[in-house]
Amino acid sequence: TIMEQQKNGEKEASGLVLQNCTLKLATLDAGNVTMHLGRLWGNFSSTVIMRSYIDQLINPKGWIEFQGEPLVRPFYMEFKNRGPGANITGRVTWARVTNDPNDASSFTVRNFIQGDKWIPSTVPHY
């Protein structure tokens, strides 16, 4: 599993976002390895993977269910990913997949962590 996120309550402003990343094994012998993008881990958990390259190592379901009581409003989303592991055929039905930039704009570096306020302008494209 690549990502797990948990919040202490509905009002907690936190989450995990991978933007413009590469999800790939470091070894060439990846034939027997499969992974999941993440798993549900508590109420209100938020995880987004956007505009990233996802290699073939990802299980077609993408995400793992939480074992136990049903969770309150988890938010898991994929936006415009690419690569063989980004194929959404077979994805779990509770995770969101979108191509609408309005859906993803809240999770950019600029908006999610106010990166334009503290990341130096000398840092290339974020």
Domains and CATH numbers, the chain: 3-112 (2.160.20.10)
Identify which has the larger pLDDT, 85 or 5: 85
Alpha-carbon distances of 70 from 20, 36, 42, 97, 98, rounded to whole Å: 31, 20, 9, 21, 24
Tokens found for residue 5: 């996120």
Residue 113, pLDDT > 90, answer no
Length in residues, the chain: 126
Tokens found for residue 52: 């990233």
46-72 mean pLDDT:
86
**Amino acid in the structure at residue 20:** N
Identify which has the larger pLDDT, 28 or 121: 121
- Percent of the chain residues past pLDDT 90, beyond the cut: 33
Q: Are strands 38-39 and 3-4 parallel, antiparallel or unpaired?
A: parallel
Residue 110, pLDDT > 90, answer no
The pLDDT of residue 99 is 92
The pLDDT of residue 64 is 87
Alpha-carbon distances of 81 from 7, 17, 41, 62, 107, rounded to whole Å: 25, 13, 23, 12, 14
Torsion angle of alpha carbons 95, 52, 102, 73, nearest 10°? 30
10-15 mean pLDDT:
84
Q: Mean pLDDT for the chain?
A: 85
Residue 70, pLDDT > 80, answer no
